[in-house]
Structure 1
Amino acid sequence: MVEFLEEILATHKVLLSIIVLTLIAAVIVMNYWDRVKFWWTCTWYSFPVIGKISKLSKDITSVDEKGWFSSETTLCSDFHRYYDRFDKDPEHYDRCKSYLSKADELGRKPFPLVMWLIVFTLVILEALGFAYVLAGFTIPGASEALQQYGAFGIALIISIILVGFTHWTGHEVYKNSILKKIRTYYSNDRREDKKNLEPDSRVKLENNNIDDEEKNYSQLLNRVTTNATVTPTWIVSIVTAIFVVVIAIGATYVRGQVLEKQLTEEKSMTQTNVYEQSLPSAIVQSQENADTKAFDEAQDSDRKGGWATFIVLAVLFVFIQLLGILFGFKWGFVGKESQIAFEDSSDFRTKQDFVNYFKREKDNIVKIAEQKLKLLQQRMYQKGNMISTSAKEMDMLKTKDYRTFKEYVKNEARENVNFHNDIEKTKEQTYTKSEFKREIKVDNVKNSNLSCTNCSATLDENSKFCNSCGTEVKKEVLITCTKCGTTLDENSKFCSSCGESILKKNLIPTCPECKTTYEIGVKFCSNDGKELELV
C-alpha cells in the first residue's frame, strides 16, 4: 500500500493539490459566505460595460410611487439586504443571549474551521486507502492509469458521503438528547394543570420574551424543530451504521482477495524445478517437500499478518467514522435561530462592543452604497443629457440630493412600522364567529343550574325541553331599572321602587329562535348565530 500511495502522490501531485486547495477554498467561502456575497455585489456593480450600474443607468423613465427612479430603488434594495443584517438595537444582544440560554445552547459553538480542514484531510486519506483497495476492480480491462483515476474518484465520492452522514448522525444524536431532556423535565413536572408538549410557533428571536413565564422544557421545545410526538428519531443513525458496516466489511473483503491473489501469483512463480535431474528422485522429492513446507509456512504467516492488518484498518476506519459522529455531536446547534443568535453575540465581551461593531458595519455599508448610488445618479444624468427626456424627468435627475441611501433606509423603517401597525389593527378589528361567541357574556338570563318545573330534572343551560318528561323549559328573564337599578320581573312595565317606566327603555336583545336574552349591544345569538330582536 505504501508503494501505491507513493505512486499516487508522484504521478497525480497536481490533481491532489487542486483537490486539496479546492476543498480548503470551499471551507473558507462557506465560513465567510455573507462577506463573499457582499464583495461580489460591490464588484458586480463596479464592472464596466456589463456591470449593474451600467445596466441600471440606461433606465431613466421608470419612476415608482415614492418619487424615486426604479434604478435607484433597485440599487438601494440590493445594499439594504446587507444593511438590515447589521441593523440591530442594543437589546438584540440581550435577546441573543437569552435565546441561547432558553435553547440550552449557551456556550456551544458552530463547527470550527480548523476541524473542517481536519475532516477534509481525513477524507483525502480515506479516499487514498479506498483507491488502493478498488484499484484493478473499478474499470476492468482499462489501462492502469485509468483504473487509478476511476478508483480515486469513486473513493473520494464514498468518503464525502461518509463525512456528510457521520456529521448528520452526530447532529441527530445531539438533537435526540435535547428531546430526551425535554421529556424528562416534562415528566418531572408534577403540576396537575400542566400543558401538553406543544411548541409555540410564535416564539422567534425578535420576540424571545413571550414565553418568559413558561417552564424551562416549554421554552426549550419552542426553539427546537421536532415531530408531533416530541420523540427521538434514529433514521439517519441507522442508515449511517449500515453504510459504515457495509463499507468496512467490503473493504476488508476486497483487501483479502487482493492478498490471496498476490499469494497465488507468488506461489505459481516459485513452482519451477531447480534441482539437477541427476540427483536421486528420493532426495529431490524430499528437498521439494521441505521447500514447499517452508514456502507454505511463509505464505501462511503473510496471510495471517495481512488479515490482522486488514482488521486493524477496518477498526481504524470505523473509529474515524465515530470521530466524525463525535464532531457532529460536539459542535453545531439545533435551535431554530441559535446559529443567528450565536453569530450576533459571540464575539463581543460587552454590549458596548456589540453596539460599536454593528455601528461600524452599518456605516461601512452606508458609505459604499452612497458611493454606488451617486455614481448611478451621475450616469443617469449624463444619459438624460444625451437623449430626449421630459422636463419632469430632467428635474428629477437634477434634484437628486434628497434621494440618498440613508433616506431609503428611513423610508423602509417607516413602512415596516406602518405595516406591523396595520397588521395589529386588523387583528384587533377582525373577529371570527367563534371568537365573538366566546366574548359574549349573558348576564340578564338565569340559565345556570336549570331544573324542570314538572319533574325537577337537572337541565343543560341551553335546553328548550326537559329530556325526561318533555316539558318546555321557561327561563326567568330579569329586567333592571335604568334609574335605580332595581331588578324587576320580565312582565313589569313600571319600577316598583321609583315608578320609572321601563316598557320602552329596557328593550332586551332576544333570539327569535331559542328566546335567549343578552346584554344591550349584542347583535347575534351565541347558540345559533341568529340576529337578535329587541323585545
Structure 2
Amino acid sequence: MELFQSVAEAISLYRYIFWPLLGLMAMVIIFIRWWDKVSYFFLNLMSAMPFFGYVARLARSNEPRRQGTGGHAWYPAEEAICAKYWQHYKTSNLGADFYLRCVNYLNKVDERGRKPTGPLLWACSVALVLLEAFIFALVLSPFIASNISANQAEFSAVVVSVLIGVILVPATHLMGAELHKNTLVKKIRYWHGEERHSGNAKSLSKNTQVSLENTRVDDNDPNYLQMLNRITHNARVTPQYWATGIALALILFFAVGAYFVRAATINAMDTEAVNGSPFSQQVSAPVQDSPFDLPAEAVADNAKADHQASQEISDNRVFASKLTFIILSVIFVGVQLIGILIGLFRSFAGIDSKMAANYIGGFSGSEEFAAWHAMRRERVERDAQEKLTALQTRLVMKRTISQSEPVSTLPSFTDYVSGKMRDKARTDIELAAHLKTQSDELALQVQPSAPAPQPASLHVPVADPQQVPDAVVTRESGVNPDSEAEKQRIHALGDLTSFSETELELIAEDQGIAPAALKKRQQVQALLNKARGGSAA
C-alpha cells in the first residue's frame, strides 16, 4: 500500500528523530510499569553524586541539632536523608500477616485468583480493535471528503480507526467490569434473601471501617455483608447497566452502520456497471436486411440470454459482497466480545482488590512473600545507613565541636525507623481508643433510659470489707487484679498481628506492658486468623 510505503520512507528519512522518540516512549512505559525499582535506583544514584547529590547538598547545611524522630537529637539534614529512604522502607515492611490479610480481603469479596489486566493483554486488545476498525474505516474514508487522493484516503482511514478504538476499548472494558460487579451484587441479594427466609437477615448497611489493613473487623458478619463492605454500590444495592447499555449501543451502531455503508457501496457499483452495459442501450433496427443477418427472433433470444447471464453474475457478486460484509460485521462484534470478556474476567469490583492482588501476585505463599520483602527491607536499611554515615562524616568534619561528639552517639537509620514505628503505634492506639470511646457513647445513647432494676430485698450477711484482707479476697476469687487489668489493656489495643517484634517491644515500653504478654497475644491472634482463613478457603 502506498501509505505504508510513504510511512517507511518518512521513517528512513527522519530516523534521527523517529528512533530517539521511540526509545523515549519505551523508557516512559518502563518507568510507569516498574516505577518502584526505577525510583529507588535514581535515589541511590542521586544520593551518591559528588557535587549536587543529596548527601553533598545536605552536608552544606549549618542548622543545629534538635529534638526529632524517636526522641533523638537530629540534624535536619540527617532526618531529610532518612526520610527519602523511609518511603521505600515502608513499602517493603510487609510480613506474612499482610499476605494473609490480602488473601482474607480477596476471599471475602470472592475475587481470589483473579489477575489484573497486564500490558500485553491490553496491547493485544487495542491492536485487534484498531485492525478491525481500520478495515471499517477504509470504506468510510471515500465518503469523508470528495476528490481526495489514495494516500489521503488511507491516512483518514488510520485516523478514523484510532478514534473508533479510543471509543470502543474503554467502553467494552467498562462493560465487562460492570457485568462482573453485577454478579457480586446478585450474590449479595441472593444470600440476603436466603437469610430473610430464615429470619436471621441483617440490614444491607456498609461498614466504613473495612479496608485492606482492617479486613478482619467483619469476620463475624455474614458473607453478604463482608462482600458488601468491599464494593461500591447504590442505595438500594441493585445491579446497574449504564456502561453495558452504552457499549452495546456503540457496538451495534458501528457493526450495523459498517454493513449498510458497505452494502450501499456495492449497490452503487452494481448500478454503474448495469448503466454502462451494452444491454442498457437501444439497438437500432438495421437499415437494410442482409442475407447473413440472423433472424430478429434469434437476435432477441441471444440478447436475452446474455442479459440474463450478466444479471446472474451481478447478483452473485452483490450477494457474495454483502455476505462478506456480514461476516466482517460479525468479526467486528467478536473482537468487541473479546474486550468484554477481558473486562469480565480481569477486572476487580473490590475497592482494594486490585491492590491486594498486586501485592500477593507472583508469590506462592506467605513465607515466600515475607522472605522477599525481608530481603528488600535489608537492602534499603543497608543503603540508607551507608548514605547516612557518609552524611554524618561530612557534618562532623565541618564542625569544630566534633572532637567532643563521639561517633557512637550519632543516631542511625534504625533509630529513625524505630521512632517512626513508635509514633505510628502511638497514633494507632490513640485512634483505636478514640473510636472505642465514640462507639461506647453511641451505644449508651441508643440504650433506652429505663430505670435501673432494684435488687431484691434479701438480707445476706456480708463481712466487713475492712476486716477481710486483700490476699484473702484474691485467693478466694482466684483472680489476680494486676493480670486482669493488664489483659484488658492488651485487649483494648486491638489487632496486633500487623506489628513486627520491634514494634511490639516499642508498644510494650510505651504502654507499660510486659513484652511477653503482647507477643503471646499476637501469636494467639495469628493462629485464630489462620484458622479463619483456612476455613474460609
TM-score normalised by length of structure 2? 0.68
Counterpart in the other structure of 2:485:
none
Matches within 5 A, 1:31-46: 31-39=33-41, 41-42=43-44
1:227 matched to 2:234: yes
- Judged with a 3 Å threshold, the aligned counterparts in structure 2 of structure 1 residues 31 and 444 are, in CA distance, closer, same or farther, namely closer
The secondary structure found in structure 1 opposite 2:351 is coil
Check conservation: 1:130, 1:152, Cα contact below 8 A: no
Check conservation: 1:138, 1:151, Cα contact below 8 A: no
The secondary structure found in structure 2 opposite 1:135 is helix
Whole-Å separation in 1 of the counterparts to 2:175 and 2:354: 19
1:418 matched to 2:438: no
Counterpart in the other structure of 2:315:
300
Q: Deviations over 1:184-242 (max 9, x none)?
A: 11111144353101121112222222222211112221222222211110010000000
- Judged with a 3 Å threshold, the aligned counterparts in structure 2 of structure 1 residues 141 and 316 are, in CA distance, closer, same or farther, namely same
Specify which structure has the bigger relative contact order, considering alpha-carbon pairs within 8 angstroms and separated by 6 or more residues: 2
- Judged with a 3 Å threshold, the aligned counterparts in structure 2 of structure 1 residues 306 and 439 are, in CA distance, closer, same or farther, namely closer
The secondary structure found in structure 2 opposite 1:12 is helix
Counterpart in the other structure of 2:494:
none
What is the aligned-residue RMSD (CA, Å)?
Answer: 4.5
- Judged with a 3 Å threshold, the aligned counterparts in structure 2 of structure 1 residues 249 and 444 are, in CA distance, closer, same or farther, namely closer
- Judged with a 3 Å threshold, the aligned counterparts in structure 2 of structure 1 residues 313 and 444 are, in CA distance, closer, same or farther, namely closer
Check conservation: 1:136, 1:144, Cα contact below 8 A: no
- How far 1:176 sits from its partner (Å)? 0.5
Match of 1:12 among 7, 19, 40: 7
Match of 1:131 among 127, 137, 144: 137
Moved more, 95-104 or 47-56: 47-56
Residue type of the alignment partner of 1:185: W
- How far 1:171 sits from its partner (Å)? 1.0
Counterpart in the other structure of 1:178:
184
Identity of aligned residues (%): 25
The secondary structure found in structure 2 opposite 1:174 is helix
1:406 matched to 2:398: no
Counterpart in the other structure of 1:457:
none
- Judged with a 3 Å threshold, the aligned counterparts in structure 2 of structure 1 residues 56 and 304 are, in CA distance, closer, same or farther, namely farther
- How far 1:34 sits from its partner (Å)? 3.6
Matches within 5 A, 1:344-493: 344-374=359-389, 381=395, 402-427=410-435, 437=445
- Judged with a 3 Å threshold, the aligned counterparts in structure 2 of structure 1 residues 365 and 7 are, in CA distance, closer, same or farther, namely farther
The secondary structure found in structure 2 opposite 1:165 is helix
Counterpart in the other structure of 1:489:
none
Check conservation: 2:3, 2:155, Cα contact below 8 A: no
Matches within 5 A, 1:188-227: 188-189=194-195, 190-227=197-234
Whole-Å separation in 2 of the counterparts to 1:215 and 1:47: 57
Give the structure with higher Rg (CA): 1
- Judged with a 3 Å threshold, the aligned counterparts in structure 2 of structure 1 residues 174 and 137 are, in CA distance, closer, same or farther, namely same
Q: Deviations over 1:434-469 (max 9, x none)?
A: 6655579765687xxxxxxxxxxxxxxxxxxxxxxx
Moved more, 395-404 or 298-307: 395-404
1:109 matched to 2:115: yes
Check conservation: 1:381, 1:397, Cα contact below 8 A: no
Whole-Å separation in 1 of the counterparts to 2:49 and 2:277: 72
Check conservation: 2:125, 2:338, Cα contact below 8 A: no
Whole-Å separation in 2 of the counterparts to 1:401 and 1:133: 78
Q: Deviations over 1:365-400 (max 9, x none)?
A: 33344445456566x649x95xxxx868x8999969
Residue type of the alignment partner of 2:7: H
Counterpart in the other structure of 1:319:
334
Whole-Å separation in 1 of the counterparts to 2:241 and 2:418: 49
Whole-Å separation in 2 of the counterparts to 1:296 and 1:26: 59
1:342 matched to 2:357: yes
The secondary structure found in structure 1 opposite 2:217 is helix
- How far 1:160 sits from its partner (Å)? 3.1
Matches within 5 A, 1:10-159: 10-13=5-8, 31-39=33-41, 41-42=43-44, 59-61=61-63, 65-66=67-68, 67-159=73-165
- Judged with a 3 Å threshold, the aligned counterparts in structure 2 of structure 1 residues 24 and 153 are, in CA distance, closer, same or farther, namely farther
Whole-Å separation in 2 of the counterparts to 1:22 and 1:268: 56
Which stretches in structure 1 are left out of the alignment for 5+ residues?
Answer: 1-5, 447-477, 486-535
Whole-Å separation in 1 of the counterparts to 2:286 and 2:407: 116
Select the structure that is richer in helix.
2
Whole-Å separation in 1 of the counterparts to 2:446 and 2:285: 118
Q: Deviations over 1:394-449 (max 9, x none)?
A: 89999698344333222211110111122234445668976655579765687xxx
Residue type of the alignment partner of 1:163: V
- How far 1:299 sits from its partner (Å)? 2.7
Q: Deviations over 1:463-513 (max 9, x none)?
A: xxxxxxxxxxxxxxx9999x989xxxxxxxxxxxxxxxxxxxxxxxxxxxx
- How far 1:102 sits from its partner (Å)? 1.6
Counterpart in the other structure of 1:493:
none
Moved more, 364-373 or 12-21: 12-21
Q: Deviations over 1:322-349 (max 9, x none)?
A: 1211121122322222223223334333
Whole-Å separation in 2 of the counterparts to 1:150 and 1:395: 76
Check conservation: 1:381, 1:398, Cα contact below 8 A: no
